[in-house]
């Protein structure tokens, strides 16, 4: 009788997908979070969408810029949330767009938080922990 591989254990560390088109911001976020979380980074919404829908296991949290080339953050999260298996992944938007209309679009897309740039890392840390506790 052939042996079967033991089931793969889920990492004890949460997986965070960072989707940010600015390379400096993306690098800073990765460095800030990688000590405590498994971090995957994408440079735009289309790449983020592909990663979120093909990674196994999928990310536990998405941090996304709103304004990006090809597919913006709101559209990316909206598409991800249409997929039943990914619907419960929390999203946090990071953006320079802080108008009420822009914030409502992000929250309507399913974001748990909408943080203005420049990002206060202590606030980001709090929002990340809060979102991951609610998963």
Domains of the chain are 15-133 (3.40.50.2300)
What would the pLDDT profile of 70-101 be if each residue is shown by its tens digit? 899 999 999 999 999 999 999 999 988 777 77
Let me know: does 114 contact 77? Beta carbons within 8 Å.
no
Average model confidence (pLDDT) across the chain:
87
By the 8 A CB rule, do 55 and 40 touch?
yes
User: pTM for this one?
Assistant: 0.86
Residue 37: band (very low, low, confident or very high) from pLDDT cuts 50, 70, 90:
very high
**Closest to 62 measured CA to CA, from 88, 84, 85:** 88
């Amino acid at each position: 009788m052939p042996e079967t591989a033991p089931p793969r254990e889920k990492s004890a560390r949460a997986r965070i997908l960072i989707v940010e088109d600015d390379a400096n911001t993306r690098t800073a976020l990765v460095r800030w979070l990688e000590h405590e979380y498994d971090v995957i980074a994408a440079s735009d919404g289309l790449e983020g969408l592909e990663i979120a829908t093909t990674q196994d296991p999928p990310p536990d949290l998405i941090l996304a810029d709103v304004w990006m080339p090809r597919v913006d953050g709101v559209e990316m999260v909206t598409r991800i949330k249409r997929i039943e298996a990914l619907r419960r992944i929390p999203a946090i938007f990071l953006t320079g767009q802080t108008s009420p209309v822009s914030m409502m679009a992000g929250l309507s897309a399913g974001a748990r938080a909408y943080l203005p740039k420049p990002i206060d890392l202590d606030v980001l840390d709090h929002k990340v922990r809060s979102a991951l506790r609610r998963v």
